[in-house]
Structure 1
Amino acid sequence: MRKVWLLTLGAFTLGLDAYVMAGLLPVLAADIGTRVSLAGQLVTVFTLAYAVSAPLVAGLFSGARPRLLILAALAVFTLGNGATALAPSLGALLAARAVAGAGAGVYSALSTAAAAALAPEGRRGRALALVMGGMSAGTVLGVPIGVLLAEHTGWRATMWLLTGLGGLALTGLAVLLPQVPAGPAVPVRARLAALTDRALAPVVGVSFLAAVASLGLYTYLAPVLAAAGGVDEVAPYLWAWGVGGVLGSLLVGPLVDRSGPSGPGRPTGRTPADPTGRAVDGGRRIRVLVGGVLVAIVAAQALLPWLAGTALPGAVAALVVWGAAGWALQVPQQHRLLRLSARRGTVALALNNSALYLGSAVGSALGGLALGSGLAPYALPWAAAGVAAVGLLLHVVAGRRARVAAGVSTLGSYEHC
């Protein structure tokens, strides 16, 4: 597992870079002489480049040596951050953020797949959780530090900090990261088929809807708490959400390992193709875990306005649960994608990462439109909970279809015996 920690440092830098820019926008806009609304497009460009690059590169270079691609992606990400720190104008900043976002997207997908490949038998969930925990820790620990540094020394200092962290991670990986087993080459037709795969599409769809609900609402947490509970200082509540995210990312790993196909489980003996029944039983347990996490997101978001208006400690508790569930969700989701699509696992993970960032962008945009159209800020968590509930419904329906398909397959196996 020590090898996975190297990948986690890069994930930490990604998590910091993905969220710190929102806090730097006012200072950055004043420095380069533009409006905050225009400077906000730096976040949009980074997000879109991240979302598009991950499945594109993962597909085009499937079968190539993952170690080389990981190092190249992290190098591109680091160079993009260095170019951001040096950029003299908005146009140059937009180009630099696109480069950084492209490198981040590719690194995120490949590092997740590499962590799973390098993990010992029965510890894949813990490995995935470490990488996801690195991203959430970058948000919790790195973003406040980055914003504080920008307030005292300028936003460019924060970007140099990101560049230095990226360079440190790149050096460590170049020296210590072993060769990662390469997956099989995936033909173009198979890569495109992943977009419409009936097993993969619902999983990615749930990730997208959860990101719309969770990361989209996070963007507007300050006005939500101000309207619901009269909260002026939002920083402690952001920390509560972030601490919950770190805890959820790390604690879910052992649960996934115990629930997954390679973990312990009582044999079902239901299919000749799998006399132990372990894969079938493990898959069901993972689906139950994902369903429970989605229920927690829905409940925490639905209760947040009421708790913020009546009991602020209750609001803190809701934020911890929401943060923990929102970040924890992706570990079993990634585990499911690797299990459902072993042959094109990296492509599936890249699609899932794209869904996360697109969901974040869509959630932020929809939240802004809702508030702009007159929706009271305190009602926004209810709308987010509704989106998460749709994700839960999709998860339940897809699970039922999978069980029906498995039953038909089992019947066919017995008929051929």
Structure 2
Amino acid sequence: MSNPTSNQLPIYLIALGAFALGMASYVTAGLIPMIETSFSVSVAVAAQLVTAFTLAYGLGSPVFVALTPPDRQRTGLLVALALFVVANAASALATSFDSLMIWRAVAGIGAGVYLAMGIGASAALSTAERRGKSIAIIMGGMASGVVLGVPLSLMIADQTGWQGALWLVTLLGLLALVGLALMLPALPAAPASSLRQKLAILADGHVVTILLVSLLAAIASLGMYTFIAPLLADPAHGAVRSVTPYLWIWGIGGVLGSFLVGPVVDRVRGPVLVLAIMLILAASLFLLPFAAALGAWLVALPIALWGAVGWALQVPQNNELISARQAQGDGNLAIALNESALYLGSAIGAAAGGFVLLLQLPTWTLAASAGAVALVGALLQVVNLRRQPAWPGTPRPEPHH
């Protein structure tokens, strides 16, 4: 019988890689002014580096996860992380903007495949009763990379140039890669299936509902995050000069939510927990403009709550997807599709928020619209509740062949 502590170390190493991934996903936005100067391109052109990474991450990763041989899960995870490390090093060494753009896209593919396979690996290394906690460690690592890693790497970039931030991402990714190459045990092979069988995942109503809830949550949460500055800058809602402290509050809430939800996932039925999270997300978004109007610091409470539940949601969602598709052997693909739903939702949320501002509607309508989308997600989650899936740890019946 294996020692559970020895099984935990690879999970923390996967989380270290997720920390580097969280940094890489969000740091580029902060580096745009330096890159703009370095390559003599406009802000609009430099901003496409973020698009290249996120599109490759959201659209490329499910394809590559689907193509990974079922008996090469460990190799697939290590190759994806190696690709991410090489792409970040090449980005730091890029001498032209075009090559930088290409390497950001390659980094995005490596990151997306790594996270999906890393969550799958952490589930395989855990007992069913501890799976939620293991997934929470990975998601907490990613959240920490966004909240703690991005400001740290931007400080380094201020001293050493924009390349310094990418070298830090490369170094952390390399540490995780070496650690996993030495410590990650062989992973169980997934059942072999054709590409057509893998595409059948989209005919699974339970999975599609989970993905739609993730999409709506991302539209609401990440979409509103894009527009937190114009809301709080409005004289009717606090006339805040610097939004930075509130972004920290949102991020720290996210880190706490990601880690603390783990033990809860292993005790509370997934769909019930997701419904509660979606209702809290909707309530916190609806409360934003009211709290901001009452006081600049009172608004910190709904922002912290919003960050906590927004990040925590993906732990029970990924756990539920693994439970739903483990028998069919495409749990990693389900997680990759969930990540795609998040990135797509973020893009839709940003576009929809921009449209609201274009119509010159009051800024409170941004929060109200986001809250309404989260509420629709909560109503959709009732459908999953009615399906009555198994409790965490309850074996599902094998599919009939």
* Fold shared by both chains (TM-score > 0.5): yes
Separation in 2, partners of 1:15, 1:379: 30
Separation in 1, partners of 2:69, 2:308: 32
- Which residue of the other structure, out of 237, 246, 263, is the alignment partner of 2:246? 237
What is the Cα deviation at residue 71 of structure 1? 0.8
Structure 1 residue aligned with 2:49: 42
* Residue 323 (str. 1) matches residue 307 (str. 2): yes
SS, match of residue 314 in structure 1: coil
The one-letter code of the counterpart of 1:240 is I
Separation in 2, partners of 1:369, 1:64: 47
Separation in 1, partners of 2:70, 2:15: 23
SS, match of residue 129 in structure 2: coil
* Residue 99 (str. 1) matches residue 99 (str. 2): no
The one-letter code of the counterpart of 2:242 is E
Q: 1:61-92 CA deviation, whole Å, 9 max, x = no partner?
A: 14132111111001111111112112223211
Tell me, yes or no, if the aligned pair for 1:62 and 1:184 is still in contact at 8 Å: no
Map residues 258-407 of structure 1 onto 2, 5 A cutoff: 258-259=267-268, 285-342=269-326, 343=328, 344-400=330-386, 402-403=387-388
Worse overlay, 158-167 or 214-223: 214-223
Worse overlay, 200-209 or 217-226: 217-226
Separation in 2, partners of 1:35, 1:309: 36
Structure 2 residue aligned with 1:151: 158
The one-letter code of the counterpart of 2:371 is A
Worse overlay, 242-251 or 119-128: 119-128
* Residue 226 (str. 1) matches residue 210 (str. 2): no
Structure 1 residue aligned with 2:185: 178
Worse overlay, 67-76 or 336-345: 336-345
Structure 2 residue aligned with 1:270: none
* Residue 53 (str. 1) matches residue 50 (str. 2): no
What is the Cα deviation at residue 368 of structure 1? 2.5
Separation in 1, partners of 2:99, 2:362: 37
Separation in 1, partners of 2:263, 2:27: 30
Structure 1 residue aligned with 2:171: 164
TM-score (norm 2): 0.91
Separation in 1, partners of 2:350, 2:29: 12
Q: 1:4-23 CA deviation, whole Å, 9 max, x = no partner?
A: 10100000011111111111
Separation in 1, partners of 2:34, 2:367: 29
Separation in 2, partners of 1:317, 1:351: 32
What is the alpha-carbon root mean square deviation over aligned residues?
1.6
Tell me, yes or no, if the aligned pair for 1:4 and 1:119 is still in contact at 8 Å: no
Worse overlay, 131-140 or 356-365: 356-365
The one-letter code of the counterpart of 2:248 is W
Separation in 1, partners of 2:41, 2:71: 43
What is the Cα deviation at residue 121 of structure 1? 4.3
What is the Cα deviation at residue 177 of structure 1? 1.3
- Which residue of the other structure, out of 126, 131, 139, is the alignment partner of 2:133? 126
What is the Cα deviation at residue 240 of structure 1? 0.6
Structure 2 residue aligned with 1:267: none
The one-letter code of the counterpart of 1:28 is I
Q: 1:381-403 CA deviation, whole Å, 9 max, x = no partner?
A: 21111211121121113433x25
Map residues 74-89 of structure 1 onto 2, 5 A cutoff: 74-89=81-96
Give the count of matched residue pairs: 379
Q: 1:118-176 CA deviation, whole Å, 9 max, x = no partner?
A: 01341001000000000100011011112222223221111111111111111111111
What is the Cα deviation at residue 244 of structure 1? 0.6
Tell me, yes or no, if the aligned pair for 2:271 and 2:384 is still in contact at 8 Å: no
TM-score (norm 1): 0.87
The one-letter code of the counterpart of 1:3 is P
- Which residue of the other structure, out of 12, 16, 20, is the alignment partner of 2:27? 20
Tell me, yes or no, if the aligned pair for 1:127 and 1:253 is still in contact at 8 Å: yes
* Residue 214 (str. 1) matches residue 221 (str. 2): yes
Separation in 1, partners of 2:183, 2:165: 27
The one-letter code of the counterpart of 2:42 is R
Separation in 1, partners of 2:222, 2:47: 16
* Residue 256 (str. 1) matches residue 265 (str. 2): yes
SS, match of residue 168 in structure 1: helix
What is the Cα deviation at residue 107 of structure 1? 0.2
Tell me, yes or no, if the aligned pair for 1:71 and 1:173 is still in contact at 8 Å: yes
The one-letter code of the counterpart of 2:55 is L
Unaligned runs of 5+ in 2: 1-7, 391-401
Structure 2 residue aligned with 1:414: none
The one-letter code of the counterpart of 2:193 is V
Separation in 2, partners of 1:145, 1:258: 35
Worse overlay, 294-303 or 87-96: 87-96
Tell me, yes or no, if the aligned pair for 1:47 and 1:361 is still in contact at 8 Å: no
Worse overlay, 319-328 or 212-221: 212-221
The one-letter code of the counterpart of 1:250 is F
The one-letter code of the counterpart of 2:231 is V
